[in-house]
Each structure stands twice: as C-alpha cells, then as structure tokens.
Structure 1
Amino acid sequence: MGGHAALAVHPASGHGAAARIAGRVAERLRTAVDRLDLLVANTVAESRALMHSSAAAGLDLLVVLGGDGAAHQGVQFCAERDVRLGLVPAGTGNDFARALGVPEDPLAATDAVLSGVEQRIDLGRVGDTWFGTVLCAGFDALVSERANRLRWPSGPRRYDLAIVSELAAFRPRPLRVRTEDTTLELEATMVAVGNTGYYGGGIPICPGARPDDGLFDVTVVGRASRTELVRMLPRLRAGRHLDHPAVQTLRAREVVLEGADWPAYADGEPQGRLPMAVRCVPGALRLAGAQVR
C-alpha cells in the first residue's frame, strides 16, 4: 500500500476500548505504509491540531479509531483536504461505520482499510460543518442533548433512557420544512435529515438513506402525543416507523428547517438552533476500506 498514514486514537471511546486496541491496530497499519503518525487526543482541539500537523507532512490516509464523535472530526478534516478516511469502530454507537458496512471488529476494519478498496461518498453540510450520518432537530435532538450528559448506561440503552426522560416535558412545535420541490408546514415532533440511515446507537431513522445517491432522506414526525411516541419507539428501533400516520418522508438535495426554536444535532454533535439550511454534497469524502452496498 505504502504512503503516509496517520492513526487518530480517541482513548476514551467505547469506555476505553479504543485505547486497549490501539497498539494492535497501529502494528497492522505499520506493516503496510511507509510512515505512520500516531495521533492520541483527548479533546477536539488536540485532535484537530495533531491532524493539521500530519497534513503538513503530506498525509495520504487518516485512520480514525473511535466512535461517531471521533469519526465526525475525521470527516471535517478529510472532506476539506481530499485525504482518504478509514474508520476503525471502537465507540458505543458507531452509526457511521455501521451504515457504511465497516466490520464491527477493529482488526477486521483495519484490514479493510488496507485492502485498497476506495469509494467516494456524499456528506451533509450545515454552515461550515460536514456530517456523515443524520442531522436531527426537535424531540430527537433534545434526547441527544440529554444522552450526551449521561454517563450510564452505554450504547443504545443510554439513548432509550434519554427518550423516557424527555417525554415528560416535550410539546410539538410549528415547523416548516422547505426543499427544492416541496414545502411542509405542520405541528411537528421532530425532523431527521439523513445522509445515512442510523443515529442514536443503531436506530434506523432514515432507513432508505444512501450516501452515494446525491440526496438526503428526510423523516418528519408530525404532532404525536406522549402515548403515541411511546408506542412508536419499538417500530422506530426496527425501522418500521415510516408507515405510521404521523410520519412523512421526503428526498432532497437541500433542506431548510425553520419555525421552531429547536436545537439541532449532526453526527451526535450540537449544531446550534433552527432556522438552519442543510445541503447534500455529492462525493465529498474519499472513504478507504468500505463500500456502500
């Protein structure tokens, strides 16, 4: 394979899983590249500084060992520089890696990165920020806020606990969803703009979304009572929520969300509050070691 690669390790990912496997991942990478930089960062600022340092030396491939937060930082870096991104999942959610068919086992994922397989995929963009998975606003974004504050439990159960906690206070709000073809105005519970299908540790909110078709899949949930939301949750986990009467779906290249003063999250990271314009950028990321099926 050759070339100059960097391995970005986020040691806290997966409650320390990334730190435990990092040495073995680095060993496999070193056998296949001419130079490997090991970038160990505990904060976003540290991660960005280390990536910039490697880029100055002519980086060809950035391999991110961690969860969706780590992958999100890798996406920001690689999309701007046309550097290939390889994902080695070691987080609690791993939604981006799951959607791209990356092996769950970190060593198998490392081998995939080194296989020579490459594909360009789409990314979403809101303001100056890129995202690979889903941008959400409304009830699900409030759930993300709460889930990010929780330290227990991990993975999907943390998200489920946050859902239950948010149900008590939530009320539907007026929302306008504008695309290049359609305008929806309704009392809404939430909206999700999917470049890929999963968020929240494996919830297929936009189950048909593909990051290689130049379009978002948009899922809008209209007015729903607490009881209806509770009943919808098992269907949501199984990807069977799209036929619910409160749910509408759209496909679009650009989406403007306005009306409600809701927080928005993309890749599980806060993006401010509505109103917000979101754009799909075809082929924005060079992905190493995975192919969308």
Structure 2
Amino acid sequence: MDKIKVILNPYAGRWLASRLRPVIEETLTALDVPFELELTTKPGTGIEMARQASLDGFPVVVAAGGDGTVNEVVNGLALAADALGKPTAGILGVLPIGSANDMAEIAGVPIQLRAACEAIKRGRTRRIDLGVVNGRYFDNNVGAGFEAQVTIESRKIKLLRGTLLYLIAVFRALSHYPSPTMRITWDDGELQRSLLMVSIGNGRRTGGGFFVTPDAVQDDGLLDLGVANALPRLQILQLLPKVMRGTHKNDPAIFLTRSTHITVESDYPLPVHADGEIIYTDAKRLDISIQPARLEMIV
C-alpha cells in the first residue's frame, strides 16, 4: 500500500481529535498502513494541505476531524484536480472524530475509529457528487439564514458536542434572527417571500441530527432545495421535532424540490455555511450548482 496523507484538525470535536492523535497513529501502524500526518493550524489551512498532498502524488488524503475538516480536504482535492485537468478529485478518506459527522455517516463511513481505519486499509470507494457555491466546493449542504445563524451560535458553545450542541444553538438563534425576504430561483421555478432559511442538500442530514432535506442522495446528480417560511417562534419549535425525524415534508411551512442549479438573492446580508463552516456573514447572492460523481471516497 502506498503512503497516505492524514490531515488532522486538532480542534475537531472540541479538542477530542488532538487527544485521539496517538490512537490514530497506533491504529494505522498496527494495520500496516503507511502514512504521513499533518496538523491544521487554523481554519482554512486544510485546503492548501490537501491540495498540495494531491499534487505531491499521495493517492489517498484522509480528513481526520468533523464536517468542516472534510470540507477543507474536499476543496483541496478538487482544486488539485482542477489544476491537473482531472474530472475526478483524488481519493478521500475520513476519520470521523468531529462534533458532527454528517457527511461521513450518510456516505457509509464507519463511525468507530478503528473501523474507519480498517476501511482505509481496505480501500473500497464510491463516487459522490460535489456542490459548488460561489466557487467553493461543498460535499454535504449549504445553509443560508437561520440555519447558518445556528452554526454561528454553536461556535460559541464550548462544552457540548453532537445534536445537543446544535439544539442549544437553535434556541439561541431563535432569540434574535429575523426572516428576510429572499428570491430563490432553480431549474424550473422561483419564489420570493420572507423566509426563515434556505437549505441546499447533497446529503440528507446536517447539524448532527437535522434531516432538513430528507430525500437528498449523494450520487443522484441533483441538489435538494429546502425552504422554510417565516414563522413565529412557537411554530418553529413545533416544527423542530419533525425536522429531526425528517417527517416535515408535508408541512405547509416547508417547500422542497430538486434542481441542478439554484440562486439565492437577498437585500438583507445573509449568514451562510458550507458543511458547517461559516463562509459568509453578509452574502446577498449565492450561485449554487452540482458536479456529478466528482469525488471518490473510501467507505
């Protein structure tokens, strides 16, 4: 087996990843997987690390962290493929040790650390689609409005992980986020109204336990668009359990459709996240599209 590159975000999982570094090294060594491990130092550095690793010829680049770490590595792999004129990005491995591991779980990556290392040893892969928002790649979803504000609030909470973290963040965001008027266009339709949030899913789950786009499929060549109307706080709280079960599809406050190209426009500056990473706090236009079968990943 050729040497692989492991990009570890030590902050992932509220510093859980840093504590797991020796376990990762010991497990890969015991499995006879040759590797080179590098730590990210601040947000965004994983993109360049992954891009350079792919250009340097590492056949597999592993994201050790949560959804944000995966997003950075995916962007690096895709940028390297763009530079080389390759239709498919290099092979992605994931060690899911973040606060939320939506993309990995939905794709079929084992959640237990040893099992994820064993999957990398086996090397079985699948192709999935990648989305692009204003030139930045995403693998799971993009959220604008309230969903992104929840992400911002979650960053302020230091002692929790997983679904509970995002539930607390929901209640914090409810206290002050407005519902601006947005104009959404997609392949065969458009709408303009006061909206709580817009969610574009390549995967069906976000925030560690919210099935906002419950029918999204990672390899169908389509993006799932979910729109929530402006609602009183009580109705939002009543809707929340449905979203956590993915049973909100027939709720009159929700609109769901599928498309290959989506634009979001707003005069009000929108917070926006891509795979749990805040990429804008003041966006007024988003241009979002899908690139089918762009990424090969180990499962």
Structure 1 and Structure 2 fold alike (TM over 0.5): yes
Q: Determine helix, strand or coil for the equivalent of 1:13.
A: coil
Matched, 1:7 2:6: yes
Alignment deviations for residues 197-245 of structure 1 (CA, whole Å, 9 cap, x no partner)? 1111221111111110000111111121111101111111111122211
Matched, 1:96 2:95: no
With over 3 angstroms needed to count, the CA separation of the structure-2 counterparts of 1:76 and 1:53, relative to structure 1, is closer
Greater CA drift, 188-197 or 16-25: 16-25
| In 1, Cα distance between equivalents of 2:255 and 2:62 | 37
Q: How many angstroms does 1:6 deviate by?
A: 0.6
Q: How many angstroms does 1:56 deviate by?
A: 4.6
| In 1, Cα distance between equivalents of 2:105 and 2:214 | 12
Matched, 1:266 2:265: no
Matched, 1:76 2:75: yes
Q: 2:285 aligns with which of 258, 263, 275?
A: 275
With over 3 angstroms needed to count, the CA separation of the structure-2 counterparts of 1:51 and 1:217, relative to structure 1, is closer
Letter matched to residue 65 of structure 1: A
| In 1, Cα distance between equivalents of 2:69 and 2:77 | 12
Length, aligned pairs only: 287
State the match for 2:173 in structure 1: 166
Whether the 8 Å contact between 1:22 and 1:65 is mirrored in structure 2 is no
Greater CA drift, 46-55 or 152-161: 46-55
State the match for 1:153 in structure 2: 160
Whether the 8 Å contact between 2:91 and 2:297 is mirrored in structure 1 is yes
Q: How many angstroms does 1:18 deviate by?
A: 2.1
| In 1, Cα distance between equivalents of 2:183 and 2:46 | 37
State the match for 2:17 in structure 1: 18
Q: Which runs of 5+ in 2 are unaligned?
A: 82-88
Q: How many angstroms does 1:278 deviate by?
A: 0.5
Q: 2:151 aligns with which of 137, 144, 147?
A: 144
Q: How many angstroms does 1:49 deviate by?
A: 4.7
* Root mean square deviation of aligned Cα: 1.8
Whether the 8 Å contact between 1:173 and 1:189 is mirrored in structure 2 is yes
Matched, 1:183 2:190: yes
Q: Determine helix, strand or coil for the equivalent of 2:262.
A: strand
Once the two structures are aligned, what percentage of the paired residues are identical? Answer: 28
Q: How many angstroms does 1:162 deviate by?
A: 1.5
| In 2, Cα distance between equivalents of 1:103 and 1:177 | 36
State the match for 2:124 in structure 1: 117
Whether the 8 Å contact between 1:143 and 1:162 is mirrored in structure 2 is yes
With over 3 angstroms needed to count, the CA separation of the structure-2 counterparts of 1:65 and 1:177, relative to structure 1, is same
Whether the 8 Å contact between 1:264 and 1:274 is mirrored in structure 2 is no
Q: How many angstroms does 1:24 deviate by?
A: 3.6
Q: Determine helix, strand or coil for the equivalent of 1:44.
A: coil
With over 3 angstroms needed to count, the CA separation of the structure-2 counterparts of 1:216 and 1:157, relative to structure 1, is same
State the match for 1:218 in structure 2: 225
Greater CA drift, 266-275 or 204-213: 266-275
State the match for 2:39 in structure 1: 40
Letter matched to residue 20 of structure 1: R
With over 3 angstroms needed to count, the CA separation of the structure-2 counterparts of 1:180 and 1:229, relative to structure 1, is same
Letter matched to residue 37 of structure 1: E
Whether the 8 Å contact between 1:84 and 1:285 is mirrored in structure 2 is yes
State the match for 1:248 in structure 2: 255
